[in-house]
Amino acid sequence: MDRMSTAYEEAGRTHQKQRTRSALVAAAREQVARGLAPTVEEAAEAASVSRATAYRYFPNQHALLAAAHPETIQSSMLPPDAPADDPAARVDLVVEAFTRLISETESQQRTMLRLSLEAPPRRSELPLRQGRAIGWIEEALAPLEERIDDDTRRRLALAIRSVSGIEVLVWLTDVAGLQSTDALQLMRWAAHAILHAALEGDLPPTSHRSNSSSKSRGSRT
């Protein structure tokens, strides 16, 4: 959401405005669940809100769809009682919660995936272009901060995300022909296997840029 729409929602009659915004998001989510990509006007009509009012909350379709995505409200996938020093247990918890969310909102996820593939390369408003799940996984990997450098830990999070998203579920079910429950189990196993390999010393390769920087630094000493 841009600054203008945020300022509008925070100024006066905030409870009423929150109800209006919630109605627009709910209307959009209902349509997304049916495989549609509603415009601001379509969400406004479904929510019985005027178009002019709707645009005060969502200046364009992408802002609306980003708010309607089921992951938008999630700031963390770790439960309050998650172990503080066990990366394997933490990653298992995050991946299990993430894949469960994908399964429960598969229709919405598929719609968002399609929109992400159709959008221009720099269209970063779409949730699947913002790397939220990577942040959740990096949070789970926090206990490894003293053992693995930032670049390698980031790549480890990317590797785990690469086997646990909606893209993987679509491939495993639509192409490989697995049942959804089997696909989810395989995704969780793959994520666990990647982390186990890393904990045993088989770390993901470092970036070419990091290697180049290291060599450059070495040549100057």
Tell me: the pLDDT tens digits for 66-77? 788 765 556 789
Listed in sequence order, the residues at least 6 apart from 198 whose beta carbon sits closer than 8 Å to its beta carbon are: 148, 156, 204
- Match 């901060």 to its residue by tokens: 145
Q: What is the mean pLDDT of the chain?
A: 84
Give CATH 1.10.10 domain extents, the chain.
3-68
* More confident: 126 or 32: 32
Q: Alpha carbon of 94 to those of 52, 90, 168, 190: distances in Å?
A: 40, 6, 16, 14
- Determine if residue 179 is left, alpha or beta; phi over 0 gives left, psi from -120 to 50 gives alpha, anything else beta: beta
Torsion of CA 199, 201, 204, 208, to 10 degrees: 140
pTM of the model: 0.72
Domain 3-68 has CATH 1.10.10: yes
User: So what's the pLDDT on residue 33?
Assistant: 79
Q: Which amino acid is at 26?
A: A
